[in-house]
Chains A and B, each alone.
Chain A
Amino acid sequence: MSESAPSTAEARRLAEEARARVRFEEEALELSDQVYRVARRLVGTREEAEDLVQQTYERAFRSWRQFTPGTNMRAWLLRILTNLNIDRGRRQQRSPQTTSLDTEAGVYFLYNKLEAQSPDGADEDRVLERLSQDSIVDALAEVPHDFRDVLVLVDIGDFSYADAAQILDIPIGTVMSRLHRGRRILKKNLADTVVPT
């Protein structure tokens, strides 16, 4: 028997590994719409989001052995993506200053403001119709990134607090406080942009 010929067991192992790799790649690609959707709101432009998603998949496919089958692949991919985003120097990007009003604005700030402009006692849907799609996208983009990351993962990406904490490598309590603050800032931004004072 030739020494270079792989044993049957080795050939079987290689075949099994190749199948596992194909399964991994297919599963990851099925999640690409969801990964892109989150990426698009973590960064400012479509081009940046596309670059980021492509780099994420390149890295994920290279390090596929590090993924534990049966765990949350979407969270695993987003962890790679957020790390890449930080590596890309996102921290140097413009981060709007938050004013004290951001935290002082109450939970019902936006509602009260919109309702005040609809004196006919409009219902919730009618009140919401005053918000355009563009104004929502702009208002979200203006949320400082630390808060926006959590907001995007939980409210747009549907991740749990625990997943968001793992993806961003921050304590769960920080996820909750940033989410709380981020939602208030978003509503404050919406109130500012949509309803002129």
Chain B
Amino acid sequence: MIDWCEKCEELMQPFLDGVLSHDDVVQAERHLGKCTWCAKRYRFEERLRHYVRVATIEPMSAELKQKLAALRTPL
């Protein structure tokens, strides 16, 4: 018998990356709709990715922007 929580764990990363097959997405969503334990962990993973993305933003300095613009071929 399939352990759906285990299967769900295996499918989580490709699911969040949007690379699962249609059948696997349907299976994962069906399980997530029923299992709060897995759903909670999926939401956490999704939020964590967003958090990492936002936390690691460091804007480019105006000086560098100017230096790059100065590399353009003069018209």
Taking A37-B60, A57-B71, A180-B13 as given, write out 6 further A-B residue pairs in contact, using a Cβ cutoff of 8 Å, ordered by the A residue number. A22-B72, A61-B71, A107-B12, A108-B9, A125-B47, A156-B53
Interface size on A, residues (CB 8 A): 41
Can you list 11 pairs linking A and B with CB atoms under 8 Å apart? A29-B72, A37-B56, A37-B57, A40-B56, A106-B9, A107-B41, A124-B40, A131-B55, A133-B55, A136-B56, A156-B53
Q: Mark B39-75, 1 if CB is under 8 A from A, else 0.
A: 0110111011101110111111100110111011101
Count of A-B residue pairs with CB < 8 Å:
88
Whether A161 sits at the interface, judged by CB under 8 Å, is yes
Q: For chain B residues 1-33, which have a beta carbon within 8 Å of chain A?
A: 9, 12-13, 17, 19
Closest to A33 in B: B60
Residue pair B73, A61 in contact (C-beta under 8 Å): yes
Q: Which residues of A contact B43 (CB under 8 A)?
A: 124
Closest to A53 in B: B64
Q: For chain A residues 80-133, which have a beta carbon within 8 Å of chain B?
A: 106-108, 110-111, 123-125, 127-128, 131, 133
